[in-house]
Amino acid sequence: MIKALSAVFILIAALVIYGYVSELKPQEDRAIDDTNVTVVGENQQEEIVPPAEPVSKRSYPKFIKGIWDPGFVEKDIKNPEYLRSLGVNTVVVIVAINDKLKEYAGPMEGEDAVEAYKWLVRDAKRNNFTVMLVLEYGYFKGNEMYPSKKFSDAEKFLNGFKNLSVKWAEIAEGLDVEYFSPINELDQVFFENGFSDDEIIRIENEFFGEVIPKIRKVYSGKIYCKAGSVHSRKVFPYEGCDILGTIIAPSRTERLEKISRAYLEKAQEWSRKTGKCWIVGEFFIPGADPNGYAIGINEINKSEVKPCGVVFMGPLNPAGGFGRNEESEKMVRDFFRNGTIPEVRGEYRLVIG
């Protein structure tokens, strides 16, 4: 993500992590398939028995039309017909990891959180969406409003994520997840810990070079590498991923056209080098300004090496959900359903402080 826009992206990181799955664990008011419920007594709670196997197997769309909606993706999935009306075929599920290198979801931590995330994946699969499962590092310190990506020991952090990656790859295999990412924007984590671009490139190459062969031993889906702010300047170094994700998001110091082009060009360079496809893995426009959506979509359309997908910040997200602006929503729908490229009518101006 972009250093010059740290406040905006910290807000998104907060939404990714804090309270992300407050409703994931089955509650009394949640609609549940009766075939998966055993009533054990009039005054006792229902025993929820999840299906042994996911309802749908793996499905790889020709073009990924996705949403990344931290904190709201379960509500999105509960309205699948709306998503399908937009043309959405893919949902990103983020697994939040804290400074203890444990999964967490609101007040839940460890295996309780693991089960909550499994429920979310199953919900997406039941509704026939392709799933991208992504591990995300960040945690809250005291009463701070925004999460931190700081760590005290780089080696301990990397070893912990290597273990988590293999663990979640096995879970992803059992749930027939189509795309699995061992960590979201490893470059951004180390950038926020004061490492230089060259150091980060070396760390990425070593981390992915070690963990991805291990993942392939337990996971037969496609391995997704999601790149962050460093990769507006540097090409992603590791070539063993099946698909690379980049971002479109504004900067305080660069015009949206320029910073978007920088990300897209570096992703295309990786694609030319590897012969593999790339996607816009996170298209985020604060305030859901239609000018921002029009500019970003036009920059994608100018790409010489075309992407194999685009993932927009989801419709409900308060920081930039396209569903909060009728014109922006129409742009996403027309782009996903008809390939329509909107006309750019004005500049995009970042308004979040």
The reported pLDDT for the residue numbered 351 is 65
The reported pLDDT for the residue numbered 253 is 81
* CB contact at 8 A, 224 and 132: yes
Determine the Cα–Cα distance for residues 217 and 237; give it in Å rounded to an integer: 22
* CB contact at 8 A, 266 and 235: yes
Closest alpha carbon to 249 in 227, 282, 226, 225: 282
Query: In this structure, what token pair is assigned to residue 6?
Result: 């740290």
* CB contact at 8 A, 289 and 343: no
Query: In this structure, what token pair is assigned to residue 333?
Result: 């729908």
- Per-residue pLDDT of the chain in tens (353 residues, 90 and over written 9): 444 343 334 334 333 434 434 444 433 332 323 233 222 333 333 333 444 444 458 999 999 999 998 778 888 999 999 999 999 999 999 999 999 999 998 889 999 999 999 999 999 999 999 999 999 999 987 777 678 999 999 999 999 999 999 999 999 999 999 999 999 999 999 999 999 999 999 999 999 999 999 999 999 999 999 999 999 999 999 999 999 999 999 988 889 999 999 999 999 999 999 999 999 999 999 989 999 999 999 999 999 999 999 999 999 888 889 999 999 999 999 999 999 999 999 889 886 54
The SS3 assignment for 248 reads: strand
The SS3 assignment for 345 reads: coil
State the amino acid at position 139 in one-letter form: Y
Determine the Cα–Cα distance for residues 303 and 248; give it in Å rounded to an integer: 13
**For the chain, counts of helices (H) and of strands (E):** 10, 12
Residues 6+ apart with CB under 8 A from 142: none
The reported pLDDT for the residue numbered 106 is 83
Q: What angle do CA 88, 90, 95 make, to 5 degrees?
A: 135
* Widest distance between CA atoms in the chain: 64
The reported pLDDT for the residue numbered 224 is 98
The reported pLDDT for the residue numbered 56 is 56
Determine the Cα–Cα distance for residues 139 and 295; give it in Å rounded to an integer: 33
* CB contact at 8 A, 283 and 313: yes
Determine the Cα–Cα distance for residues 322 and 315; give it in Å rounded to an integer: 5
The SS3 assignment for 235 reads: coil
CATH fold of 3-338: TIM Barrel (3.20.20)
Q: Structure pTM? A: 0.85
Determine the Cα–Cα distance for residues 64 and 89; give it in Å rounded to an integer: 7
Domains of the chain by residue range: 3-338
